[in-house]
Amino acid sequence: MQRIMFSPVTRLSGLLSVEVFVDQNRVVEANAGSTMFRGFEWAMRNRQVSDAVYMTQRVCGICSLAHGAAASYLLDEMYDHDLTENAQYLRNIMYAADFLQNHIRHFYLFSLPDFVRMPGRPPFHGQNLTDARLNARDNQRLVENYFNAVKAAQQSHEILALFGGKAPHQHSFVHGGVAVSPTADKITQALALCKEIRAFIRNHMVPDTGLIARVYNDYYHIGVTPRCLLSFGLFKFGPKNDRVLWPGGVLYQDQLTFPRVDQIQEEITSSWFAEAQGELKPAPGKPGAYTWIKSVSYAGRPFQVGPLSRMIITGRYNGGTATMDRICARTLETLLISELMEEWLKAVVPGPPPIRQKSEPVKNEVTALTDAMRGTLLHSARIADGQVISYNIITPTVWNFSPKNSSGQRGPVESALVGTEIPRPDMLLTILGRIIRSFDPCLSCGTHALDVGNNIKLVLRI
Amino acid sequence: MQKEAFVQLCRQLSSRRDYNLSQAILNAVGEHRKYNPHKLPVIWLETNDSGDNNIAFMSSVYPYLQEVFDEMIDLLYSNTFMAAQGREALEILFRPAKKFRGRFTLVVEGAVPVKDNGLYNLIARTENHDITALEAVTALGGMAGHVVAAGTCASFGGASAARPNITGSVGVSQVLNREVINVSGCPVNPDWLVGTLAHLLMYGRPELDSLDRPTMFYGFTVHRHCQRRSYFDQKNFAQKLGDIECMFSLGCMGPRTGADCPYRQWINHVSWPVKVNTPCIGCTNEDFPDGSTPFFTPMSKKSPGQ
C-alpha cells in the first residue's frame, strides 16, 4: 500500500491537503484536510451583533455575500424587521450576482485545467494533465473561454458592486433591507451586464460543460457519493424571509423531508480541536487528527451539499451523485440563476432605499439558515444587550469536507475518493483533482466552523 | 514614460464612467517592455485570509487577467491559479525561487499565524513534513527582490488577527526583517495591486507612506475626497443607513482612512460604500477591524479595546 500526500490541492480557495492510500491501483482510504484556521467565532464574541454582516463576510472571499446574507437574515429575525418586496428583489439580485461569479470562476478558472490542456506558460506551466482528451480545436476554444470567463465573472461582480458598493464584501445588503436606492440607471446598467453574462453562459458555459461531460463521460461513474443530499433553501422573499423560492430539503433513501436544526451534530474526532471545561480549544498537532474542519452530520449521517443537492432536491436534475453530475448541476444552476436575475432586475421598482432598521433586538438567540454557493450555511448567535456571547457558523465546506467521525463514517469528499481506480500511477493527481474540485472546495470558509458553546439551538426556519 | 509621470497617471482622478486608469497603465507597460522584455516574476502565497484578494485581483479591468498574465507578470506560483498540483506544484515553488533569487516579487495574501510555531496555517504538507506559512514566508521573503502584502491581513493582520486573535496572526512585515510594501484593503482594490506590480516592473519600489503603503493610492484620506464632504462641512449628518448625507454619524472611518475609494471606486469603478449610503469602515487601516468596530458607531465612541 502506498501513502501519497496530495498537497497542495491547487485551484481552490484556501489550503487543502488530501492524504490518500493506494493499494493495487485503487484508493483505499482518503483523509481530506484543511490546513488553515482563523477562529472567527472567537473574533465575533463581545462585538455588537449588528457588526456581524460586515465581519462574517470576511470569513470567505469567494462567497462573502452569502455570509452577509445569513447574518442579515439572523438579524432580521432578532430585530423583527419587515422586509419590503423591493428589498428582497435587490437582495436576491446581489445574491445571484455573487453566485454567477462564483460558479463561472469555479468552472473555468479552477475546474477547466483538469480537463483542458492549458498554454505552457505561467501560471499554467507544469500542468501534467495525464488524461487530455479534447481535440486541438475544442481545446483551443475552451482555453479562450477561460479568459472570456474572467470577463463574465468580473461583470457579475460589477452588478454586485453597482448595488452593493464593492465586491467582495459588499456594504448595502444589511439587516432591515438594502441601503442602496434602486434607480433606473443602475437597473439598466445591471440589465445590460446581465444580458452579456447570460449570453456567455448560454453560448459558452453550457456547451463547454456539455462537451466536457461527453468527452469525459466516465466521470458519471467516478467520484460517486452516497445519495444523502441536503439543502437549506435559497432565495428568500416575504416580509419575514419566510417564502423561499428554492425550498430546502433532506434527501435520504429517496425520501424528501424538511431539514431540522436539531438533527445537526458536530464532533471533533479527526479535527485539531480538544475539549476542556466544556469549551473547545484548537489543538494543532493532536494525534490522529488531520484537519481544521469538524465532522458534521444530519440525523447521524454525513450529507452532501451544493448545487447538485439543490438541483436534485428541487426536482431540476435527475442524475446521479458522481463527479460529472456535480459539474453539470453547477452549470445548470448558473443558467437558471442568470435567468432569475434578469427577471428580478425587471421587477425592481425605482425608489428610495428599501431599508428600515429597528433599534432594539427582540430576541436573544437566533439561528438562520440559507444556502450559499457551495451548499448549506448556518449562522447562529446568542446575545446579551446587543453584544455577541457566542456566534457559530457551519459552512458548506464543513459538510462536504467532513473528516471521519467517531464511528468512522467518511464525509462526502472522502467517500467520493475511496474506491477510485487509478489505471496508471501518473494519473493519480489528475483523477483525484477532478473529483475533489467537483465539490468546489473553499477551505477559507471551512476553517471557522466551530460551535464554540456547542449550543446550536433547536430553531426551525427553513 | 518617466516615473513621475507614471505616478501622476495613477493619481489622476476622475469619476467618469469610462475612467480607466488601468488601460493607461497597460499602455505604459507596453511602452516599457519595448526596452525590457522581462516580465515581473511573481510568487504568490496564500496564507491566513478569506481568499478575497485573489478574487478581487480577478476583477481587474484594463488590464484584464489575461493581459496581466501576458504582459506584466509571470505568475510562477499561485495556489489559486496554477495548473500544476500536489508535489509538482510544490516543486515549482522552490525551483523558480532559486532561479529568480533576488529578482522575483513575493506577493503574500493573508496574515501569518505565529502562535504554536505557526501550525494554524500549512501552505502544504509532504509525506513527512508540514510547511507552515511562517516557514514559507520567512524563507521566500529572504530570497525575494520585493515583498508585497496584498490586502489588510497580509499588511497588518486584519480580520485574521481580530481580537482575541487566538492564532497569533500578524502582518507579513512582522515576520520579515526587511521592507514589505503594504497594499492594504479588505479586499485590496485590484487597481492598487496591479498598479503596484506595474510600478515594481517599470520603476522599482514605489514611494511609500508611514505604513509602507504606496502613496499614489493611500496618500489622501477618504474623507478628503469624499463626495459627501460638503455635508460634513455643514454638519449635515445621516440619521440612518440609506440617507444621502454625511455618514460620519453612522460610524464612517473616512477621516482617518487613507485610500482613494471616492475617486477610484470598485469593480470597473462603478461604486464604493458611501455611494450606496453606508459608511466607510476603514478597511485599509492598520487597526482594521478592531479599530473600526462597532461599525455603525461614530468614531469617537468606537471601542477597539473590548
CATH number at residue B236: 4.10.480.10
Which DSSP letter does residue A118 get? Answer: P
CATH 3.40.50.720 fits A2-446, yes or no: no
Query: By three-state DSSP, how is residue B214 classified?
Result: strand
A78 vs A317: CA distance, rounded Å:
36
The span from the CA of A380 to the CA of A449, in Å, is: 11
Task: Assess A3–B contact: CB distance below 8 Å, yes or no.
Answer: yes
pLDDT, residue B16, reads: 45
State which residue of chain B sits closest to A46, comparing Cα positions: B306
Report the percentage of chain B scoring pLDDT > 90: 84
- Indicate the SS3 state at residue A29: strand
**Mutate: best of B50, B274, B292, partner A, most A CBs <10 A:** B50
Q: Do residues B199 and B256 both lie within one domain?
A: no
Distances (CA, A) of B165 to A44, A101, B157: 11, 31, 9
Contact B122 A17 (CB under 8 A): yes
A93 is in an annotated binding site: no
A47 to B306: CB separation less than 8 angstroms, yes or no:
yes
Provide the annotated binding site of B.
153, 186, 223, 226, 246, 252, 261, 280, 283
pLDDT in tens, A294-315: 999 999 999 999 999 999 999 9
Are residues A284 and B125, on separate chains, in Cβ contact within 8 Å?
no
User: Is A105 at the interface with chain B, CB within 8 A?
Assistant: yes
Q: Which of residues 163-202 of A touch B (CB under 8 A)?
A: 163-169, 171-172, 174, 176-177, 179-181, 189
Contact B83 A124 (CB under 8 A): yes
The pLDDT of residue A444 = 79
Co-location of B32 and B179 in the same domain: yes
CATH code of B102's domain: 3.40.50.700
Give the DSSP letter of residue B99. H
User: What is the DSSP secondary structure assignment for residue A51, as one 8-state letter?
Assistant: G
Low-confidence ranges of chain A (pLDDT < 50): 449-462
Do B181 and B259 belong to one domain?
no
Task: Please tell me whether residues B9 and B35 are part of one structural domain.
Answer: yes
B250 and B163 in one domain?
no
Inter-chain residue contact B58 with A153, CB threshold 8 Å: yes
- How far from A289 is each of A293, A453, B23, B291, CA to CA, in Å? 10, 21, 49, 36
**Cα separation of B39 and A122, whole Å?**
11
The domains of chain A are located at 2-446
Longest dimension (CA), chain B: 65
Residue B104: the pLDDT is 95
Chains A, B: CB pairs < 8 Å: 291
Report the C-alpha gap between B162 and B119 in whole angstroms. Answer: 18
What is the number of domains present in chain B?
2
**Residue A445 known to bind ligand:** yes
Domain boundary among B218, B249, B282: B218
**Residue B277 lies in domain:** 222-301
Interface test mutation site (partner B, options A1, A3, A7, max chain B beta carbons within 10 A): A7
CA angle A291, A296, A299 (to 5 degrees): 155
- Tell me, yes or no, whether B228 and B87 share the same domain: no
Strand runs labelled E in A107-189: 173-174, 177-178
Question: Does the distance separating the beta carbons of B92 and A126 come in below 8 Å?
Answer: yes
CB contact under 8 A, B278 and A172: yes
The partner residue sitting opposite B58, judged by closest CB among A154, A158, A433, is A154
CB A283, CB A289: distance < 8 Å:
yes
- All 3 cell numbers of residue B198? 506595474
The answer to whether residue A393 neighbours chain B at the CB level (below 8 Å) is no
Who among B47, B82, B121 is closest to A10 (CB)? Answer: B82
Q: Same structural domain for residues B81 and B230? A: no
Same domain, B258 and B278: yes
Residue A405 CB contacts under 8 Å (≥ 6 apart), including other chains: A267, A269, A270, A295, A297, A302
Rounded to the nearest angstrom, the minimum Cα separation between B211 and chain A is: 22
With H, G, I as helix, E, B as strand and everything else as coil, classify residue A286.
coil
- Nearest by CB to B271, from A40, A125, A162: name it: A162
The pLDDT value recorded for residue B12 is 66
How far does CA B191 lie from the centroid of its chain? Answer: 9
pLDDT at B157 over 80: yes
Tell me: pLDDT of B275 over 90.
yes
φ/ψ of A180, rounded to 5, equals: -90, 150
CB A381 within 8 A of CB A391: yes
**pTM metric for this prediction:** 0.94
Listed by number, the residues of chain A in 287-346 with a beta carbon closer than 8 Å to a beta carbon of chain B are: none
Q: How is residue B2 written as a grid cell?
A: 518617466
Task: Find the closest chain A residue to B282 by CA distance.
Answer: A54
Beta carbons of B180 and A76 less than 8 angstroms apart: no
C-alpha cell recorded at residue A405: 467521525
Shortest CA gap B205–chain A (Å): 24
Q: How confident is the model at residue B22 (pLDDT cuts 50, 70, 90)?
A: low
What span, in angstroms and rounded, lies between the C-alpha atoms of B21 and A250? 50
Contact B68, A147 (CB under 8 A): no
* Same domain assignment for residues B285 and B205: no
Backbone angles phi, psi at A104, to 5 degrees: -65, -45
* Residue B14, beta-bridge partner list: none
Q: Is residue B103 domain-shared with residue B251, that is, in the same domain?
A: no
Whether A456 and chain B come into contact, CB under 8 Å, resolves to no
Average pLDDT value over all residues in chain B: 92
Helix/strand/coil (H, E, C) string of chain B? Answer: CCHHHHHHHHHCCCCCCCCCHHHHHHHHHHHHHCCCCCCEEEEEEECECCCHHHHHHHCCCCCCHHHHHHHHEEEEEECCCCCCCHHHHHHHHHHHHHHCCCCCEEEEECEEECHHHHCCEEEEECCCCEEEHHHHHHHHHHHCCEEEEECHHHHHCHHHHCCCCCCCEECHHHCCCCCCEEECCCCCCHHHHHHHHHHHHHHCCCCECCCCCEHHHHCCEHHHHCCCHHHHHCCCECCCCCCCCEHHHHCCCHHHCECCHHHHCECCCCECHHHHCCCCCCCCCCCCCHHHCCCCCCHHHCCCCC
Residue that terminates a domain, selected from B218, B246, B268: B218
Clarify whether residues B26 and B105 are in a common domain: yes
Q: Do B130 and B208 fall into the same domain?
A: yes
Angle at which helices A184-200 and A136-164 pack, to 10 degrees?
A: 160
Substitution target in A83, A130, A166 with the highest count of B β-carbons within 10 Å is A166
Phi and psi angles of residue B17, each rounded to the nearest 5 degrees, phi first: -60, -35
- What DSSP character marks residue B14? -
User: What mean pLDDT is predicted for residues B270-277?
Assistant: 98
pLDDT digits (tens, 9 = 90+) for B41-79: 999 999 999 999 999 999 999 999 999 999 999 999 999
Residue A402: which residues within 8 A CB-CB, separation 6 or more? A293, A294, A295, A296, A297, A302, A410, A411, A412, A414
* A442 annotated ligand binder: yes
Q: Determine the pLDDT at residue B32.
A: 65
Helix (H, G, I), strand (E, B) or coil at B280: coil
**A201 near A96, Cβ under 8 Å?**
no
**Boundary residue ending a domain (B218, B242, B261):** B218
Residue B306 domain-assigned (yes or no): no
Q: Binding site annotation covers A328?
A: no
For the record, the C-alpha cell of A114 comes out as: 483538469
Best of B67, B88, B266 to disrupt the A interface (most A CBs within 10 Å) is B266
